[in-house]
Structure 1
Amino acid sequence: MLQTTNTILMIRPVNFRMNEQTAINNYFQEALDIKNAEINSKAQIEFDDLVVKLRGVGVNVIVEHDDKSMDTPDSIFPNNWVSFHENGDVGLYPMFAANRRRERRDDILTNLEKEGFQINNIIDYTSAEDEGFFLEGTGSLLLDRMNSKAYCALSARADEDLFIEFCEDFEYTPVIFKAYQNVDDTRLPIYHTNVMMCLAEQFSVICLDAIDDKKERKQVTKSLKADGKTIIVISESQMHQFAGNMLQVKGENDQRYLVMSKAAHDSLTSKQVADIEVFCPIISSSLETIETCGGGSARCMMAEVFLPKT
């Protein structure tokens, strides 16, 4: 199984703003004292700049445009509602916020098929929303596709039973733990696994300090080491600059790159940068507005497309 892909789906926002429905348990979100139209305009510029940088190194970026009538402020983060797999399977996921459920769009899947991608089977978990259970795609799930392992930090947006169901359906071994952050001197669950951990082919960037339980921390470390991954440890303060929210992609001639925001890049020490660049160059781009209002960063903006071509 491939761990990285050359093809990325990204959704250009038309109504981006701070989503009051997700701010309940996304403690990375902050309000900006500017009008929503200006927030969206700034987010579009940041989005376009990242797309240019990715395409500039040969990444195949498929850009779909959000539908303004849907009022989906977080549509810029498509990896939460869909995942695409090498065997032609597509996963559709139950979302915590009601206004995020409108992000799921059949026309996007149809457009991928028009582009020559093969969809064989749709595995739909969205009915779990009716019972109040959620599993937000590759925000909640970190997939080590090469070693058939899935990592998940449990939270209000990552239900354990649903996660195990996913692992059974897609034939992944589950690695389950809890990850926390300080919020007003209280340890509260981190909403998505992919803000505290990144999995690349040969390495992992992870905030081990977020895993408070020593046994769980040891279990995660042991699992990564068993697969021969180099572990690059980041601090909680670096995690809050989205240094865990990174994605490895393929560019021209199968060159690998690690994609992250400028804030994440700037937070890294020179040694951490050097440790990453042993494996691949870094691509970073300013995502300040998206990070502040959306509480997500570069990895959240990219849905990896592993589907076979017809």
Structure 2
Amino acid sequence: MMIQAPSAVVMVRPHHFSPNPDTAADNSFQAFDDQRSAVEIAADAEREVTTAAETLQAVGVDVQLFDDYETTRPDSVFPNNWFSTHSGGHVAMYPMYSPSRRTERRVDVIDALKEKFRVQDVIDYSGLEHDNVFLEGTGAMVLDHVTRVAYAARSHRANPIALERFCTNFGYEPMAFDATNEAGVPVYHTNVMMTIATDFVMVGLDMIADTQRRREVIERLTSPGRAVIGLSYEQINNFAGNAIELRGRDGRVLALSQRAYDSLRDEQRDVISRSCTLLPLDVPTIELAGGSVRCMIAGIHLDRRPVAVPLQISA
């Protein structure tokens, strides 16, 4: 069963990356580095994305890599927040909470996908921004493509109206819940605390304070027979929840950051390794912005267009 693990992804290589001060207020994972200049940070981020894309390509993941030379998009390295793709040829574009992130939506990226993959329609929710209604893609939601459930931690970036509208249009059941870190601060994006793979789920269960709702979430996550890997607050803070299962040349891989990998216990790695190969990517500069490997990757769940074969004419 490969429906949860796409074999192709979109990544954006920024040339002017920096932690975004406009998003720091509700993103407790964000940090700043005063040991490097802005130019050094941007150059290091560019190298990290290049290396990560090359590592994924080396294991057989098709990486559609787009460059971003704009100086006003510090978070453009996180494309999964502004669009998602779905089986049947459907694409969604999302309303973004921070005005500084709204120009990350790029028509050229969608057009490039249309050239290589079958796209039937594009549903654009960005107009909801005018009503202060936001839903930041597969950052705000973690989608179970098998059971068709959209998990969402309530926040400024996951409005229930937009969530309900997305689920109605795309055929998912919404499952919203409250989640906080150890200091009681709401989780800004669901995908920092939850990863759904084919045979397992990694989730910060302690972050869901309501025990009844926690049980309901666990029951739904495990309904296809998945194992549950509970993550501690410390592991969540090291981005262990911000991973994504992909399909490579020789089977499934779990892409996660080196920092996340190092935080996992041996027995947790053993559970993951029974299903897929762990693939750590070193992205410490990118993580300054409060997101990690999952945020950097937008999975492509679209059918490929057939490759045209030249007509052979006999002499």
Alignment TM-score, normalising by the size of structure 2: 0.94
Where structure 1 has 5 or more consecutive residues not aligned to the other structure, the ranges are none
* Mapping 1:7-86, distance limit 5 Å: 7-33=8-34, 34-69=36-71, 71-86=72-87
CA distance in 2, matches of 1:57, 1:309: 19
2:310 corresponds in structure 1 to: none
2:156 corresponds in structure 1 to: 156
CA contact (8 A) 2:73 2:100 kept: yes
CA distance in 1, matches of 2:158, 2:88: 24
Q: Deviations over 1:71-98 (max 9, x none)?
A: 1000000000000111111100000111
CA distance in 2, matches of 1:221, 1:147: 13
Q: Using the TM superposition, give the Cα deviation of residue 297 of structure 1 relative to its aligned residue in structure 2, in angstroms.
A: 0.2
Q: Structure 1 vs Structure 2: percent identity of aligned residues?
A: 39
Verify: 1:203 aligned to 2:200, yes or no: yes
Verify: 1:270 aligned to 2:271, yes or no: no
2:297 corresponds in structure 1 to: 302
CA contact (8 A) 2:117 2:304 kept: yes
CA distance in 1, matches of 2:205, 2:148: 22
2:217 corresponds in structure 1 to: 220
- Structure 1 runs of 4+ aligned residues shifted over 6 Å read none
Verify: 1:191 aligned to 2:188, yes or no: yes
3-state SS in 1 of match to 2:91: strand
Q: Which one has a bigger Cα radius of gyration?
A: 2
CA contact (8 A) 2:133 2:161 kept: no
1:147 corresponds in structure 2 to: 147
Q: Deviations over 1:112-136 (max 9, x none)?
A: 222x212111111111111111100
Q: Deviations over 1:101-156 (max 9, x none)?
A: 00001011111222x21211111111111111110000011111111111111101
Letter in 2 for 1:164: E
Q: Using the TM superposition, give the Cα deviation of residue 227 of structure 1 relative to its aligned residue in structure 2, in angstroms.
A: 2.2
3-state SS in 2 of match to 1:68: coil
CA distance in 1, matches of 2:300, 2:161: 26
Letter in 2 for 1:65: D
CA distance in 2, matches of 1:225, 1:144: 11
3-state SS in 1 of match to 2:128: helix
Of 275, 283, 286 in structure 1, the residue corresponding to residue 282 of structure 2 is 286
CA distance in 1, matches of 2:223, 2:146: 13
Q: Using the TM superposition, give the Cα deviation of residue 9 of structure 1 relative to its aligned residue in structure 2, in angstroms.
A: 0.4
Letter in 1 for 2:100: N
CA distance in 2, matches of 1:94, 1:67: 22
Q: Using the TM superposition, give the Cα deviation of residue 225 of structure 1 relative to its aligned residue in structure 2, in angstroms.
A: 2.0
Q: Using the TM superposition, give the Cα deviation of residue 67 of structure 1 relative to its aligned residue in structure 2, in angstroms.
A: 3.1
Letter in 2 for 1:263: R
Where structure 2 has 5 or more consecutive residues not aligned to the other structure, the ranges are 306-315
3-state SS in 1 of match to 2:276: coil
3-state SS in 1 of match to 2:215: helix
2:130 corresponds in structure 1 to: 130
Verify: 1:173 aligned to 2:148, yes or no: no
Q: How large is the RMSD of aligned CA atoms in angstroms?
A: 1.1
Q: Deviations over 1:221-251 (max 9, x none)?
A: 1111222111011101100000000000000
CA contact (8 A) 2:95 2:125 kept: yes
Alignment TM-score, normalising by the size of structure 1: 0.95
CA contact (8 A) 2:202 2:228 kept: yes
3-state SS in 1 of match to 2:10: strand
Q: Deviations over 1:182-215 (max 9, x none)?
A: 3xxx411110000000000111000101111111
Q: Deviations over 1:242-262 (max 9, x none)?
A: 000000000014x00000000
3-state SS in 2 of match to 1:224: helix
- Count how many residue pairs are aligned between Structure 1 and Structure 2: 303
3-state SS in 2 of match to 1:83: strand
3-state SS in 1 of match to 2:185: strand
CA distance in 1, matches of 2:185, 2:160: 17
Letter in 1 for 2:6: T
Letter in 2 for 1:172: Y
Q: Using the TM superposition, give the Cα deviation of residue 48 of structure 1 relative to its aligned residue in structure 2, in angstroms.
A: 1.3
CA distance in 2, matches of 1:137, 1:270: 32
CA contact (8 A) 2:31 2:290 kept: yes
